[in-house]
Structure 1
């Protein structure tokens, strides 16, 4: 595994002891990208994901809708659908608070806005897919390191939803973070409940953990 760009040292961030300040700093980095840079990054991300052997046999993959400067998985999805891949979006569980299930996502899917202002498919009981039934999950993230650490938006939804992967690793889907390469740091502050990633894919490289 080659590292194409030197990660920004964690010590250079505004507050080394505060995940919230680190999160703000990294969000500003990705928000500073121009539309042209975002488009180029999404296309390069698609090429790197399509080249991943771990995804060649995956048929049920969870994704996300980009906002806040996140890298866009749609170019990858357009190619992967031709391979017969089915995509799913996270939906806030109406009963188990703080957890998610996954509903089918197609271009014509009807989306509604959840309480966080994020579009999601309708909660169809018969169509939803539990976390353990996915082949892979493309997770959004704010920051990552090469030990599998992931810094999210702070809600803990993915960590709670995939906590079972620590106890039943064989049942766990491949957890693959996708991000801009500039979101890499040399070391993240890790909490006991953080679920580690199997890999991170950016517009520049595939970092296998």
Structure 2
């Protein structure tokens, strides 16, 4: 793995890399991700799981959502507010109507006050552009997840297990983190579970398929 310090260049490189994956490779990775998640204690013991609707080559959580619905695990996805960068989370099932937000990302149609805060989640499966060996996460640059999780912590609410999910090709050696970046507890890919030191579920070594 080669470190790249410029975040803009890094985003462009990794986004191009994941978008280049073929359809069969993406479907295989999505199924493999579910198997890795089922090996993760923070996921298997959860009652409410935060997820996302994939775009831009992100690893697909479709099989994971379907498994959660079959096992009566509440599945929530982020909903953007109008005035700030704090996300709320709305429960979703197969019949939930969706609409594109201002970034063109699908999210549940909700009324005012219908979303829950991050503190209601047991584990949050977070999209990312890249992650490194220390648990630093590089997102798309909007700061929505970092702002949301920081606000949740400052409000004194419980913090969910922060699990980045990605293709293994999104793992790199080093990301230069900023002070406001929220580190991951664990990263789960189609190949392995990567646990990070000094986090909520750090016990145990990284496991691979």
Report the TM-score, using the length of structure 1 for normalisation.
Answer: 0.88
Instruction: Please state if 1:56 is matched with 2:48.
Output: no
Q: 2:125 aligns with which of 138, 161, 164?
A: 138
Secondary structure (helix, strand or coil) at the match of 2:31 reads helix
The 1-side partners of 2:89 and 2:152 are apart by 16
Q: From the superposition, tell whether residues 191 and 90 of structure 1 become closer, same or farther in structure 2 (CA, over 3 Å).
A: same
Q: Which residues of structure 1 form unaligned runs of 5+?
A: 1-7, 11-15
Q: Which moved more, 1:126-135 or 1:37-46?
A: 126-135
Q: From the superposition, tell whether residues 188 and 121 of structure 1 become closer, same or farther in structure 2 (CA, over 3 Å).
A: same
Paired residues, number: 196
Q: Which residues of structure 2 form unaligned runs of 5+?
A: 197-209
Counterparts of residues 121-132 of structure 1 (less than 5 Å):
121-125=108-112, 127-132=114-119
Q: Which has the higher contact order (CA 8 A, sep 6+)?
A: 1
Secondary structure (helix, strand or coil) at the match of 1:193 reads coil
Q: From the superposition, tell whether residues 17 and 56 of structure 1 become closer, same or farther in structure 2 (CA, over 3 Å).
A: closer
The residue aligned with 1:33 is 21
Contact 2:33 2:191 (C-alpha < 8 Å) held by counterparts = yes
The 1-side partners of 2:187 and 2:131 are apart by 8
The residue aligned with 2:144 is 157
Report the TM-score, using the length of structure 2 for normalisation.
Answer: 0.88
Q: Which moved more, 1:85-94 or 1:22-31?
A: 85-94
Q: From the superposition, tell whether residues 56 and 17 of structure 1 become closer, same or farther in structure 2 (CA, over 3 Å).
A: closer
Deviation at 1:207, TM superposition (A): 0.5
Deviation at 1:167, TM superposition (A): 5.2
RMSD: 1.6
